Structure 1
Amino acid sequence: MVRGKLVFITGGVRSGKSNFAEQYLMNEQALRNVYVASGVATDKEMEQRIEYHQRDRASYPVEWVTIEQSRHFEQLTAVIKQDDGILWDCVTTWLANELYVSNMEQVEKRLFETIDRLLEKVKVMVIVSNEVLDEHLSIYESVVRYQQWIGRIHQRLVINADEAYEMEYGLGHQWK
């Protein structure tokens, strides 16, 4: 069995990451395009962002299957099919959802075990995350802890990725 391709895409807020990731996945012509959404509509702005992304995907000439997975990423292995294409949007939101309710060492371990299991099945897995490390470390301990976790996860994702992109102003720069 051939391992699926892992693609990591990062960039600032509203930099064009999701659109780039959607186009990338559609070009891969997987059996199904599966959008794994980590966002939870906790306020009006988030509701609008979720609706925008749903409308955007609905306008494409291919069908998307959406799976809401704000936590417990490992549960995906039961619903992903052979030769699917996965777009997971996004790691930073998922981490914020997990950070205060879970043992992060175990969560990180399960995350990478799950990614490995999924790559045994899928054609391609595109992972989107926000770049939040361009700023100075926060004065708040909880924010510093988040920055440390996301930094570690990003580095490991890039190491494991077949391709890695950074988005800025709607343009992608391929680093790997």
Structure 2
Amino acid sequence: MLIFLTGGVRSGKSTYAEALVERLLNKEAVYIATSKKTDAEMEERIKAHKLARKEGRVPWRTLEQQQGMSTLFPSLKETDVVLLDCATNWLANELFTPPSYNWPSNWEWIVANMVDEVKALHKKVRHLIVVSNEIFQGGYEEGVTANYMKALGRFHVEIVKRADVAGEIVGGIPRLKKGQIHL
């Protein structure tokens, strides 16, 4: 099953996704962390996420991978339940980290490659939950920000097309827009 969850910053989407993974799980959960430790605030958020997973009812194996998800495939099993958190950071890493940085000429190729990696990851594991941020409600910016939003929007559309379940988390409450979760 492929599940796509989006929501605003601090909307409870990661917490909801982690709880969902634990309900779908057999043994060990896999957390693919895409964030980079860029400053003290991000470091604190990463620590808080790790602590929350330690306090959960199942063991988590964390794989820190900011780019190129396909390099993780050999370490994953077909029985794994995987949470990829989050696509927003992953896209920024792919777009703005050398040597791929060549904005805006290659953004469509990067998004297509990310979609292909999600499709392959989904085929590789039992369940995959992809978390992303909903950044489109504040209007569109110009320049690089608008192009980033266009790229993220395209990624969301392509993943939702393929997802069994898609929804938005608002205040920790899921609002499913596509499919249902039967546990």
Q: TM-score range by the shorter chain?
A: over 0.9
SS in 2 for 1:119: helix
**Residue pair 1:35, 1:87 contacting (<8 A) in 2 also:** yes
Alignment TM-score, normalising by the size of structure 2: 0.89
Q: Which residue of 2 aligns with 1:49?
A: 45
User: Quick check: 1:62 aligned with 2:58?
Assistant: yes
Provide the residue aligned with 1:174 in structure 2.
176
Runs of 5+ consecutive residues of structure 2 not aligned to the other structure: 101-105, 179-183
Name whichever of 75-84 and 99-108 sits farther off. Answer: 99-108
Identity of matched residues, %: 37
Deviation of 1:109 after TM superposition, in Å, equals 2.5
Mapping of 1:133-148 within 5 angstroms?
A: 133-139=136-142, 141-148=143-150
Task: Give the secondary-structure state (helix, strand or coil) at the position aligned to 2:148.
Answer: helix
2:76 corresponds in structure 1 to 80
Instruction: Give the TM-score of the pair, scaled to structure 1.
Output: 0.92
Paired AA for residue 43 in structure 2: E
Aligned residues: 171
| Structure 2 SS opposite 1:95 | helix
C-alpha distance in structure 2 between counterparts of 1:157 and 1:30, whole Å? 25
Query: Superposition pairs for residues 23-38 of structure 1, below 5 Å?
Result: 23-38=19-34
Whether the 8 Å CA contact 1:74–1:110 is kept in 2: the answer is no
What is the RMSD of the two structures over their aligned residues, measured on CA atoms? 1.2
TM-aligned CA distance change 1:94 to 1:58, over 3 Å: same
Name stretches of at least 5 consecutive residues in structure 1 with no aligned partner.
Answer: none
Q: Pick from 153, 156, 165 the counterpart of residue 155 of structure 2.
A: 153
